[in-house]
Structure 1
Amino acid sequence: MNKALEKIKCGTNEIISLEELEKKLASGKKLRIKLGIDPTAADLHLGHTVIINKLKTFQDLGHQVVFLIGDFTARIGDPSGRSEMRPIITDEQIKTNAQTYAGQVFKILSRDKTEVAYNSKWLSELGVKGLLNLAAKSTVAQMLVRDDFKKRYKEDNPLSIVEFLYPLLQAYDSVALNADVELGGSDQKFNLLLGREIQRDYGIKDTQIVITMPLLEGTDGVKKMSKSYKNCIALNDLPENMFGKIMSISDELMYKYYELLTHADLNIIKNMHPKEAKSALAREIVGRYHGKKEALKAEEEFDEMLCRS
């Protein structure tokens, strides 16, 4: 168990609580591990893989991983860490994106060992009565404890009622899936903890463990990776584009990419010339998602482009 626990702890921000996780692992039970992602963009990106890789860790340890596609909650969009409302996307866009996510996640997870779920299955059946019952389990004051909501409220930026509902709907997903563990980015801590409370309210005594992972900054080195910030490296990017984007990041950010996306020894990496280290990083990541041959070809094209410029 100690080795399993160390693998799970590696690279995490927080585990709430570690003692509860140790007990669940010691029970020998096959745990249900939940990771939900809303299909609000066309492709998964490297920022998503930080958490998906942790899901893979649980899968390799023999637990049941659930990749939840938030095709219902995508209509709202996760407000975590945002200073403004998300643009509304169409049902057709959500459906197309969901199909893409369901395929791309298997670049990391084992297809035959992964449960793929869609939260429209239960949230669309919740109805007005069910939604009111769920909404009654939280307060506006509780929601305004969140820094992002509090900031928008104080600055008189639009904050919709449906955005208040989002954390509750995400929490209800944990009830529907009977999750033992939920993974998420550090900006989702409020939502994940609310999942514990809502599970308890719906009669689940052994509530989910919350594990948060660091956020990966996008190519700008400032904001978290996101298509809406135009700073993402998508898993479906062409090999040469993926290689070029990685080569464009700052040296400082490169070390964080090594830390969050690879198992490389940072002490060795920091003794390398930055360009050599960055090229090695780009080769590894492009090779992981497109194959070694395409990675080497992308590197050759990048070097040729540098020589011409």
Structure 2
Amino acid sequence: MNEVEKQLRVIRRGVIEIIPEDELVKKIERSLTEKRPLRIKYGIDPTAPELHLGHSVPIRKMRDFQNLGHHIIFLVGNFTALIGDPTGRIETRPLLSPEEIKQNLQTYQEQAGKLLDLKKTEFVLNSTWLAKMNFGEVIKLASSFTVAQMLEREDFSQRYRKGNDISLQEFIYPLMQGYDSVVLKSDVEIGATEQKFNLLAGRTVQGAFGMEKQVVITMPILEGTDGVRKMSKSFGNYIPITA
């Protein structure tokens, strides 16, 4: 078994999908040839002060990449949290204030350190670049997607069919997440299966900006403590990583 096969064996463990796997193989081969670690991105919005066991699933996969010698980027979406991820929502999220977001993210790095080697982890806030975008840049970003493409996602199409509101800011959310991948030059992005549309949006936006597209890795979702819905900060049905 060569080094590429060894890495793939570790990376495949516990994942739902690798999209597309042949591109990941090429990225690993080039990484080994050029002795350049892959840039692995995982993002989370600080909508609550605690990371939970549901987050531990993709974070542990990040640790796998870290152990393989790749560069880990833990993105805290303090700007995207102002909008709120519409994934799986049947209605628009209540907006968080900047003060609530700032308070929530204070201990994220410390909590992530329970699973990651912090000395080898790059922590970033997406307000660093998103807050500085001008309207012309936003228009360029918006041109990478169509309304028809947005309505392909199940939660949006369901709300549209039922006559429930979909705000423009919710359409912008996956574009912002995709633009994070442009700025960070991510080779791979990891997320839960429900995040598949947002993760693939990163590929679309990177392509629109003339970049090589990231590989998407989806991970299983943990059931919440209520036994009904996914484990979520928003639903309050979670077990903290620090418990």
Shorter-normalised TM range: over 0.9
Partner of residue 121 from structure 2, selected from 93, 98, 114 = 114
One-letter identity of the residue aligned with 1:26: E
Structure 2 gaps of 5+ residues are none
Q: 1:228 matched to which residue of 2?
A: 234
Cα distance in structure 1, aligned partners of 2:238 and 2:164: 26
Take 1:172 and 1:30, find their aligned partners in 2: how far apart are those partners?
Answer: 21
Q: Distance in 2 between matches of 1:202 and 1:65?
A: 23
Equivalent position of 2:21 in the other structure:
18
Q: Is residue 2:131 matched to residue 1:124? A: yes
Which amino acid counterpart does residue 82 of structure 2 have in structure 1? R
Which of structures 1 and 2 has the larger relative contact order (alpha carbons within 8 angstroms, sep 6+)? Answer: 2
Following TM superposition, where does structure 1 have runs of at least 4 consecutive aligned residues deviating by more than 2 angstroms?
Answer: none
Superposed displacement of residue 197, structure 1: 1.3
Q: Is the 8 A contact 2:38 2:187 kept in 1?
A: yes
Q: Deviations over 1:66-117 (max 9, x none)?
A: 0000000000111111112111111111111122212211111111100001
| Secondary structure of the structure 1 residue equivalent to 2:189 | strand
1:191 to 193, 198, 204: 198
The residue type equivalent to 1:166 in the other structure is Y
1:131-179 superposed Cα distances (whole Å, 9 cap, x missing partner): 1111122111110000000001111122111000000000000000000
Distance in 1 separating the partners of 2:93 and 2:115: 28
Residue from 205, 208, 215 that aligns with 1:209: 215
Distance (whole Å) between structure 2 residues aligned to residue 20 and residue 93 of structure 1:
39
**Deviation of residue 228 (structure 1)?**
2.1
Alignment of 1:85-104 (within 5 A): 85-104=92-111
Indicate conservation of the 8 Å contact 2:56/2:241, yes or no.
no
| Residue pairs, 1:35-184, within 5 angstroms | 35-184=42-191
SS at match of 2:113: helix
Note the aligned Cα RMSD (angstroms): 1.0
Higher-Rg member (1/2): 1
Q: Once the 2 structures are TM-superposed, how far is the Cα of residue 231 of structure 1 from its aligned partner?
A: 1.0
Give the TM-score taking structure 1 as reference length: 0.75
| Count of matched residue positions in the alignment of Structure 1 and Structure 2 | 236
The CA deviation at 1:190 is 0.9
Code of the residue aligned with 1:158 in structure 2: it is D
The offset of 1:235, in angstroms, is: 2.0
8 Å Cα contact 2:178/2:198 also seen in 1: yes
Calculate percent identity across the aligned residue pairs.
53
SS at match of 1:229: coil
Deviation at 1:24, TM superposition (A): 1.0
* Higher share of residues assigned helix: 1
- Give unmatched runs, 5+ long, in structure 1: 238-309
How far apart are the structure 2 equivalents of 1:208 and 1:38?
Answer: 20
Q: 2:12 matched to which residue of 1? A: 9
Contact 2:49/2:106 (8 A) holds in 1: no
Letter in 2 for 1:120: S
- Secondary structure of 2:234's aligned partner: helix
Between the aligned partners of 2:112 and 2:197, the Cα distance in structure 1 is: 25
TM-score (norm 2): 0.95
Find the aligned partners of 1:128 and 1:116 in 2 and give their Cα distance.
27
Equivalent AA in structure 1 for residue 234 of structure 2: S
Match of 2:159, SS state, is helix
